[in-house]
Copies of this chain bind each other. A is one copy, B any other.
Amino acid sequence: MSNIRHALTARRADDFAQWYQEVISAADLAEESGVRGCMVIKPWGYGIWERIQRLLDDRIKATGHENCYFPIFIPLSNFEREAEHVEGFAKEMAVVTHHRLIADGKGGLMPDPEAKLEEPLVVRPTSETIFGDAMARWVQSWRDLPLLTNQWANVVRWEMRTRMFLRTTEFLWQEGHTAHADEAEAREHTLRMLEVYRACAEEDLALPVIAGEKPENERFPGAVETWSIEAMMQDGKALQAGTSHYLGTNFSEAANIRYQDREGQQALCHTTSWGVSTRMIGGVIMVHGDDDGLRVPPRIAPWQVIILPMLRDKPEDEALLDYCEDLRSKFAGKTALGEPVRVLLDRKPGKAAAKRWDWVRKGAPIIIEVGGRDMEAGTVSLLRRDRLWAENGKPDFAAPSVAAAADDVPRLLEEVQGELFRQAEERREANITRGLESFDAVSDFFASNGKYPGWVEVQWAKPTGAALDQVVERLKSLKLTIRNVPMGSDAADGSCIFTGAPATERILLARAY
C-alpha cells in the first residue's frame, strides 16, 4: 500500500516528536499562545476535553463526590507550613507579588511599587494545603466523614521545557481531595479512584493502561502511597495518565484535620488526593493517531458523524442541504454507546474534498459525504476513520442506502471504539518484554531494540533509601524510570536484577514522558 498519499507530512516511524506536533496542528487541537509555556486549546481540542470532563465527572459523582471550587491563590505560608512539601515539591511556581499596574512614565506599564503584597501569593500548583485548611473547618465529628470533594480547575507549574498537552505551564485538571475516619477506608478509597481512572481511560478514551503502585522515589511529596495508571505510546514510551495518593495523616497533621469519633475522642483524619489532566489528550494523540492525523474514540469525540454536502455554490445546493439536514436529524435520533449520536452537518463554504481531509486529520470517527448523485440514488458515501484506506490505496468509501447507514451508525461507532482499544492493547502487549534477568540484559535490550523498544517487566527486591537511589541512578543512565508495580501481576519468583537478592515484586521499566 505504498501508493497511499497520507494526510500528514511527518511519519510516526521517522520522527515521532515532529509527527506529534504536526497532529496537534493538523487536527486543530491547540497552538502556542505567545505566553511562555501556555497553549491555546482550540475548539476541537477543547471539545475532546469537555467530553472527557463530562464522562469522568459522572464517574466521580457516582462514587459520592461533590464538586466545589477553591481559590487559585495560595498564601506562601501554606507552603512553608508543609515542610516536607516545600522540600520535595518543585519550587518552580508562578508568584504574584503586586496587585496593581501603573504607568512607568515611558508610555508603558509596570507593577506599582506601592502595591506590593505583604505576603506573596502562589498560583496553585495543586491544592492539598488549601483544601486541608477547609477540611479542618468542615470536619467536626465522625458524622461528617467521609468528606468527598473534587474540583475542576487550572493549575500552574513553571516548567522549563514544555510540550503541548504533555507538559505546559498552565494546564487543566480535576483534583479530588477526601478525608476519612481511618486508614483502611482511606486506602480503599485511593484504590477506588484509581479504578475510576482505569475505567475512564480504557472505556472512554480507549487507552489500555496498567494500574499499579509507584516506587517510593516517585511518590507525591507527602504521600504514603502513590498509585498510577500508565499507558504505552506508539513510540514505546510510557505516559503516566493519572495518579491517586494515600496521604496518611501527613496533611491532616499540618492542617489540623481532626474529628470526634463515636467514643468522643479526637482523632486525625486520613486523607487522599488524585488527579488527571489535559495531559490525557496527549495520550489519546500518541496512542490513537496515525499518519493521517488523529483518530478520536467515539465516546470522547465532540462530533461522531460528520455530514459533508458536496456543495457547488449553485442554486441546487439548497436542495442538497435540506436533504442533508434530514439525514442529520435521522442519525441524531439514534443512540450509540449509551448516548444520542452526535452528528454535525458541516455547512461551511469550501470544497468537499478539502473538508473531508480536514475531518480525517481531526479524526472524526465517521465521515459521510453526500453529493447530487447520492441524493438521487438514496445512498451516502461513508468513510470509517479507523479503516481509512482500501487495498488500492484509495479512501475506503462504502455506499450504503440512507436507511442502512442510519441503522448501522450505532454499531459502527461501537466498533470503532472497540477497534481503537483493541489495536492499542495488542500493540502494548507486543511491546512489553518479560524474562530479562539482569541489569545487563536490560541494558543490552534497550541498546539493541531500535528506536521504539517498548517496556520491560523485571523483578526486584524493592530496595529503599540509598539502595533505591542507586537503582534510580543506574536506570537513569539508560534513560529509564520505574513506572509502577502492576496490580495483579504474578508473584515474584526470581532474583532482583539490581542486587541479586530474592525478588519480591515485578516492576515495569520504561522511557517516559
A binding-site residues for B, Cβ under 8 Å: 31, 33-35, 38-43, 45-47, 49-50, 66-77, 79-80, 86, 91-103, 107-112, 120-123, 130, 133-134, 137, 143, 149, 153-154, 156, 158, 169-170, 172, 348-350
Contacts and interface: CB of A to CB of B under 8 A. Distances in A.
28 contacts: A31-B137, A33-B71, A34-B133, A35-B130, A38-B72, A39-B71, A41-B70, A43-B68, A69-B172, A71-B170, A72-B123, A72-B156, A73-B94, A76-B108, A77-B108, A79-B101, A79-B109, A80-B108, A80-B109, A91-B100, A91-B109, A92-B99, A92-B100, A95-B99, A95-B111, A100-B158, A111-B120, A143-B348
A476 to B, nearest CB: 24
A284 to B, nearest CB: 16
Contacts of A348: 143
Contact of A73 (B35, B42, B70): B35
Name the residue in A96, A170, A348 with the highest tally of chain B Cβ atoms < 10 Å from its Cβ: A96
Contact of A123 (B45, B123, B172): B123
Nearest to A69: B41
A38 B95 contact: no
A80 B107 contact: yes
B71 A50 contact: no
Within the oligomer, what is the number of copies of this chain? 2
Contacts of A120: 98, 110-111
Given A109-B76, A350-B143, A40 B70 contact: yes
A69 to B, nearest CB: 4
A308 to B, nearest CB: 15
Given A72-B156, A75-B34, A93 B97 contact: no
Contacts of A33: 70-71, 130, 133-134
A121 B100 contact: no
Name the residue in A46, A70, A79, A95 with the highest tally of chain B Cβ atoms < 10 Å from its Cβ: A95
Contacts of A71: 33, 35, 38-40, 170
Contacts of A100: 91-93, 95, 158
B91 A101 contact: yes
Given A76-B101, A91-B100, A95-B99, 14 more contacts: A33-B71, A40-B68, A45-B68, A47-B67, A72-B123, A73-B169, A86-B109, A91-B102, A92-B100, A94-B96, A95-B96, A95-B111, A96-B96, A97-B97
Given A98-B97, A100-B92, A109-B80, A72 B154 contact: yes
Contacts of A108: 76-77, 80
Contacts of A79: 101, 109
Name the residue in A40, A75, A108, A143 with the highest tally of chain B Cβ atoms < 10 Å from its Cβ: A40
Contact of A93 (B69, B99, B156): B99
Given A95-B96, A149-B43, A73 B38 contact: yes
